[in-house]
Amino acid sequence: MLAGRGRNKIRPPRRGLGTNDNVDFDSMWAELASSLRDIHNKNASQLSFEALYRNAYKLVLKKRGDILYEHVKDFEEEWLANEVQPRILEVLSPSLLLASTGGSTITTANEKRAAGEKLLRALKQAWEDHNLCMNMTTDVLMYMDRIYCKDFRKPSIFTASMGQFRDYVLRTPLQPGPDHQISIAQVLNAVILDQVRMDREGDIIDKSLLKSCVYMLEGLYETEEEEEHLKLYLTSFEPEFLRASEEFYRHEGSALLLDADAGTFCKHAKKRVSEEEDRCRSTLSPLTLGKIKLVVETELIKNHLREVIALEGSGVKYMIDNDRTSELEMMYDLSARVDPKKEELKKAVQARIVEQGNDANNATIAATQAPPRPLAPKGDRADGEEKAPEKPVNLQTTAAINWVDAVLRLKDKYDTFFTQAFQSDQGLQTAFTRSFTDFINAFERSSEYLSLFFDENMKKGIKGKTENEVDELLDKGITLLRYIQDKDMFERYYKKHLSRRLLMKRSISMDAERQMISKMKMEVGNTFTQRIEAMFKDMTVSDDYTTQYKRHVAQLGDPDPKRAEIEVNVLTSTMWPLDTMAPSYSEGENRPKCIFPSQIERIKEGFEKFYLDKHSGRQLTWQANMGTADIRAYFPEMKGAKKTRELNVSTYAMVILLLFNDLPPGHSMTCEEVQAQTNIPFNELTRNLQSLAVANKTRVLVKEPMSKDIKPTDKFYFNEHFYSQFQRVKIGVITTGNKVEDSAERSETEKKNNDTRGGVIEAAVVRIMKQRKKLTHQKLIAEVIQQLTARFMPDVNMVKKRIESLIEREYLERIEEKEPPAYRFPKMAETLSADEKIALIKEQLQEVLKPEIIEDVIKKQDRPLVVYWGTATTGRPHCGYFVPMVKIAHFLKAGCKVKILVADIHGFLDNLKAPIELVQFRAEYYKFVITALLKSVNVPVERLEFVLGSSYQLSAKYTMDLFRLSSVVTEHDAKKAGAEVVKQVENATLSGLIYPLMQALDEEHLGVDAQFGGVDQRKIFTLAAEQLPKINYKERAHLMNPMVPGLMGGKMSSSDPDSKLDVLETADGVRKKLKKAHAAPKEVEGNGIISFVEYVLLPVSALKSGGQGNFVVERKEGEPLIYTDIATLKKDYEADILMPQMLKPAATNALIELLQPIQEEYLHTQEWIDIDKKAYPPPEVKKKEKKVKDRGSRFPGAVKEVEAKPDGHVEGKTKDQVNLATGAEEAMKNLDVTTDGTAKSC
């Protein structure tokens, strides 16, 4: 054996050797062959490797390399055949041969393991010996490998000998069979497979021995080129291993499905995958890892997943019902392995959600239909002393609350599964949402019940709860609101219940009420909560009226010390649900008016005069059924010394009780007489008399005959013997609380809601047709449904009826000659009303903050809305700017006054962007681009006002306002406001805090009513709304566009060249970028091209044409596809009718055509070209230094230049030849020195 081979070198022989061209090959080969035999016999310690190398060197040098090469191969072949192979055959028992052909005489696992391991050890030893000997032989024949093999393209002797081991050891036929021949390689494969099978079955095997044989197979190749994919392991063993594994797991999966439950199956499958991963890493080869995992996942999991999920008594349904979260987690893991979309698991979970939801629905219906509990037979029921049975009203209300609680519990259950078992999988979250939506909307009273749930909790449910608990409760309710499709129905019920809470002062916490409105606004938008917020505003204003009126009465000096005090709630009739609050309200002028007592009438008239003096032209209508009164009553026969009590009653009850002041003791009034003197509607009179004369503990009147029912002839006496232990007695009106509607009430509510929906549908039709001008019947129906789905699910028949109604009233025209049926918007309807202007201003916006400001300006102040849009002058404007241009066109059409702020100072403040010296040039460049964009889409630019930020932002007043605003805005709020607009960097400058404050102040200094921008500026808009009033500036409305997706699927940004298209982009540049744009087949979400068509090409086409826009896709065969709405385009794309290779060229051609007039104007405007060069100068090109060719250090006299080390150590020069300052100068070339003298790496 050789020692220290890494350091020794075999030097070439001196010239004196081998000068004679004649060499005795036979004698030299005899010596080499003898030495090779000694090496194989492990007797190489006495050999002189220098002499052996010299002999091989001589033979190669004298052109005998080919003979030497063949002799060595022949020697190795003979050695393997005569020495190695017999040793392998000695351990190869007949039983192994039989087993390799499919039969077996071995019965026990130990016998199998012993026989197999004996063969494996023999092969391992032969392989290791062969490797060692051939490494030593390669050292001896190094010169032959380097010269002869390389020149004649022969494999090295080591490579050739590996092939010989493969052919003469592993693949030599052992004994011919009737149909085929068996080789050692086949036996080896069978033994390894058998060892793996035993390992899978739990037997102990020698894994290191197995790994050694696998190394052997990985080290051998099918050819001498030794290509990676032709390893013997991959070509010979692995296919057999995978086939055997498929069969093993196929049988195991079938057996397991019969014997195990779903949880056990999941655990076992997960364990098998882990075992195979470990086996590939520790016993076999990592090359097989992915393939064997696929086998296990297919045969054991995928082929049985559906059956496992549906197993009765242990499947997904059982796991869900019994909260087996860990088992569901394993089921999810297995599903994710074989199906990225988890379709089977989704179906099972969705089905169970709907089943459980329908169970809750059915249980609630059964509870509401159950008869009341019978009254226990004790005493006379007419006395009313016994506890009455629970009323159907209470049963239904309780059932409503229980239904919501049941749905919330179900939601909590699946939320737990979502986070703990399903790894917050968004696909499953979508499935959950769809299932909850299905069963909740299948229950027709879901809107009403959810509103009752909020009502009960606002009245008593949140009492004693912490702020966090209240917030959690409201969030859960809002979650259910998200699932309800008919949100307009919920709004109707919620307003009805809220109105009673507000007017009857039954709400526990007004903060919780406002918090609820805020959450609703975030969930369903401002439009939904606008009227509800107005109700709160009315209550606040009413408190002010009450205070002012009391002050007014005090100033008049009323001499009557017994004058009653009044608190008035002045309600805006269009904002409150008066038709549901007051049954008589819907009767209009024919409704009966309550006759108030004279002392009350005098107070009422006094307030009317006070109010109408302030608001001339308004009309007050008194709703007696909605108020309450506090009365001090004297009961002469009451037990005890104090015979007075304070009664809190309804306004109608007050009017009834005051009638008895004028009656002598012992006299009575019939129900007919009470109605004649008060004019109270009979149903209202009945309920109030029941509260005063029938209800236990509040009988301040005595009824004859005593019964629950009220008849016109029944007599009523003042109860002088009334007694209550409480000084203040609250007498509620029978069934005045919020309750579940009966069938008749429900039908009436649905009828009123459908009437309201009709108006909403008509408005949507007019809005769509104004924009599109012409539209087919089917497309109009589809667009109406698409626009209104967020609020309610429109009925197609209702939409058709409203279209017919609009045609009759000449708001729409039918195109008679058109096939299929189509409509046009008549020109005579072009004049915009106030509502139409507001609708156009809000059209296609993602969100509007404070829309009531817009309505106030247009409707009440009757003047144009002043709105501004600002843009910081930083990067080049891109095609995404077409989106705000579309909205600016809408603003102008709606009669708005539009200001465009060219924010040069903002551009300077924007971190890491335009330096101050380029700001003025870029501001001019932006004016050119914005003007050209608007002109290209037929927008009248003469109606625009451009304002340069520096024209007022550098003034003393603006600076002082900035200081004032800075004193009330915290650092946290400023950072939060600019988070999505100002570039966020580590150790940011203060400019990032000033930026959002200035944008807020611009609203005041530009004198506008509203600011328009992208939804990414929402936090700045919120800052402006919250903070400007603190420095005595009014709040503005804020209009937000959706963000424009970039070509690669993200946000279109000036800082990302691949995501945007410059408006001056060349045609080739457009083609190149759109070719790279993100447009995966059949995928609409995140598709940059489709987003560009939706937000830019279609709207701009509509503006240019003055009517309906279109997008044309040419096809190689057939007619072109013409799209007039994005919904159809998306549907075709998902169906693969419209493919990426068709979409991209069409978008490219449309965009090139759109940009052409802008670019032509640029080329014909020299001033624009000059400004462009100044605003965006080309970057300086650094001159490349010519490299001095390094000739190395081996030619005579050369000295290699080496950089000095930081510690002064030098290689390649003497120390006195090195100037350390030179190294410092070179280092400074790679640094950029800042103004403060510090340096940063480039």
- Whichever domain contains 689, its CATH number is 3.30.230.130
Nearest residue to 136 via CA among 76, 83, 220: 76
Tens-digit pLDDT profile for residues 26-54: 999 999 999 999 999 988 888 888 989 99
Structure-block tokens of residue 477: 């309710």
CA-to-CA dists, residue 513 to 276, 494, 508, 509, 1232, angstroms: 59, 12, 9, 7, 59
Percent residues over pLDDT 70 in the chain = 85
Radius of gyration (Cα) for the chain, nearest Å? 46
Backbone region of residue 703 per phi and psi (left: phi > 0; alpha: psi in -120 to 50; beta: other values): beta
Backbone region of residue 279 per phi and psi (left: phi > 0; alpha: psi in -120 to 50; beta: other values): alpha
Structure-block tokens of residue 160: 């050739």
Mean pLDDT over 789-795 rounds to 85
Residue 1226 lies in a domain: no
> What integer pLDDT is reported at residue 16 of this predicted model?
45
Residue 1102 lies in a domain: yes
Residue 1216 lies in a domain: no
CA atoms of 1166 and 1172, how far apart (whole Å): 10
Tell me if 986 sits within 8 A of 940, measured CB to CB: no
**What dihedral angle (degrees, nearest 10) is formed by the CA atoms of 266, 272, 274, 275?**
160
CA atoms of 560 and 553, how far apart (whole Å): 11
Tell me if 478 sits within 8 A of 518, measured CB to CB: no
Last residue of a domain, one of 1175, 1199, 1228: 1175
Structure-block tokens of residue 528: 């939904």
**Any idea which of 214-223, 906-915, 975-984, 1016-1025 has the lowest mean pLDDT?**
906-915
Burial 959-987 (b: 16+ CB within 10 A, else e): eebbeebeeebeeebbbebbebbbeeeee
822 shares its domain with 852: no
Q: Directed axis angle between helix 289-296 and helix 238-259, to 10°?
A: 30
* Structural domains of the chain, count: 7
> What integer pLDDT is reported at residue 272 of this predicted model?
93
Structure-block tokens of residue 856: 């106030």
Contacts 24+ apart (CB under 8 A), 335-343: 335/305, 335/309, 336/425, 337/273, 337/297, 337/301, 338/297, 338/298, 338/301, 338/302, 338/305, 339/302, 339/305, 341/427, 342/425, 342/427, 342/428
Number of helical H runs and strand E runs in the chain = 51, 21
CA atoms of 440 and 872, how far apart (whole Å): 47
926 shares its domain with 1012: yes
| E strands in 69-203 | 173-176, 181-183
962 shares its domain with 1025: yes
CA atoms of 264 and 252, how far apart (whole Å): 13
Signed CA dihedral, 1089, 1090, 1094, 1100: sign only: positive
CATH number at residue 809: 1.10.10.10
Residues 6+ apart with CB under 8 A from 1191: 1198
pLDDT band per the 50, 70, 90 thresholds, residue 1: very low
How many CB atoms lie under 10 A from the CB of residue 819?
8
pLDDT band per the 50, 70, 90 thresholds, residue 1184: low
Tens-digit pLDDT profile for residues 894-933: 888 899 998 888 877 775 555 777 777 888 888 888 888 8
* Mean per-residue pLDDT of the chain: 82
1019 shares its domain with 913: yes
DSSP 869: E
End-to-end C-alpha distance for the chain, whole angstroms:
56
1029 shares its domain with 906: yes
Tell me if 601 sits within 8 A of 679, measured CB to CB: no
Residue 557 lies in a domain: no
Residue 766 structural domain: 743-829
Mean pLDDT over 1176-1181 rounds to 73
> What integer pLDDT is reported at residue 422 of this predicted model?
92
Tens-digit pLDDT profile for residues 562-589: 677 888 888 888 788 877 665 544 444 4
Q: Which amino acid is at 1051?
A: K
Task: Specify the pairing of strand 822-824 against strand 774-776.
Answer: antiparallel
Residue 321 lies in a domain: yes
1016 shares its domain with 1101: no
CA atoms of 302 and 344, how far apart (whole Å): 10
CA atoms of 2 and 250, how far apart (whole Å): 53
CA atoms of 637 and 722, how far apart (whole Å): 8
Mean pLDDT over 73-97 rounds to 88
Q: Averaging pLDDT over each range in 105-109, 911-915, 1145-1149, 1190-1194, which range is the top one?
A: 1145-1149
Residue 122 lies in a domain: yes
pLDDT band per the 50, 70, 90 thresholds, residue 1169: confident
Last residue of a domain, one of 1043, 1067, 1090: 1043
CA atoms of 978 and 993, how far apart (whole Å): 7
Q: Report the predicted TM-score, pTM, of the whole model to 2 decimal places.
A: 0.60
Give the DSSP H or E segment for 849. strand 847-849
Last residue of a domain, one of 1043, 1078, 1110: 1043
CA atoms of 907 and 919, how far apart (whole Å): 7
CA atoms of 744 and 398, how far apart (whole Å): 20
CA 542 to chain centre: 43
CA atoms of 88 and 858, how far apart (whole Å): 100
198 shares its domain with 281: no
Tell me if 847 sits within 8 A of 1012, measured CB to CB: no
> What integer pLDDT is reported at residue 972 of this predicted model?
85
| E strands in 613-687 | 628-634, 644-650, 668-670
Q: Directed axis angle between helix 991-1005 and helix 956-966, to 10°?
A: 120
For residue 104, is pLDDT > 70?
no
Backbone region of residue 100 per phi and psi (left: phi > 0; alpha: psi in -120 to 50; beta: other values): alpha
Tens-digit pLDDT profile for residues 631-676: 988 888 787 768 888 998 989 999 999 988 888 888 889 999 999 9
CA atoms of 149 and 56, how far apart (whole Å): 13
769 shares its domain with 858: no
Residue 293 lies in a domain: yes
Task: Specify the pairing of strand 728-730 against strand 774-776.
Answer: unpaired
Q: What angle do CA 693, 699, 704 make, to 5 degrees?
A: 40
> What integer pLDDT is reported at residue 708 of this predicted model?
84
> What integer pLDDT is reported at residue 1200 of this predicted model?
44
206 shares its domain with 273: no
Nearest residue to 206 via CA among 189, 191, 220: 191
Tell me if 852 sits within 8 A of 806, measured CB to CB: no
Q: Which amino acid is at 979?
A: A
Residue 1008 lies in a domain: yes
For the chain, the helix, strand and coil percentages under 3-state DSSP, each to the nearest 5? 60, 10, 35
Tell me if 1004 sits within 8 A of 961, measured CB to CB: yes
Tell me if 1018 sits within 8 A of 975, measured CB to CB: no
CA atoms of 1101 and 1095, how far apart (whole Å): 11
Mean pLDDT over 987-999 rounds to 84
Burial 912-946 (b: 16+ CB within 10 A, else e): ebbeeebbbbbbbbbbbbbbbbbebbebeeeebee
Q: Which amino acid is at 857?
A: V
CA atoms of 44 and 195, how far apart (whole Å): 37
891 shares its domain with 981: yes
Tell me if 685 sits within 8 A of 740, measured CB to CB: no
> What integer pLDDT is reported at residue 1226 of this predicted model?
36
CA-to-CA dists, residue 1100 to 724, 879, 940, 1063, angstroms: 76, 11, 15, 14
Strand partners of residue 897: 866
For residue 1208, is pLDDT > 60?
no
CATH number at residue 73: 1.20.1310.10
CATH number at residue 1064: 1.10.240.10
1071 shares its domain with 1025: no
CA 628 to chain centre: 49
Q: Using the structure block, give the residue that is written with the tokens 């995966």.
A: 1080
721 shares its domain with 750: no
> What integer pLDDT is reported at residue 872 of this predicted model?
85
Mean pLDDT over 93-113 rounds to 69
Tell me if 69 sits within 8 A of 144, measured CB to CB: yes
CA atoms of 878 and 871, how far apart (whole Å): 12
Give the DSSP H or E segment for 783. helix 777-788
Structure-block tokens of residue 918: 């380029």
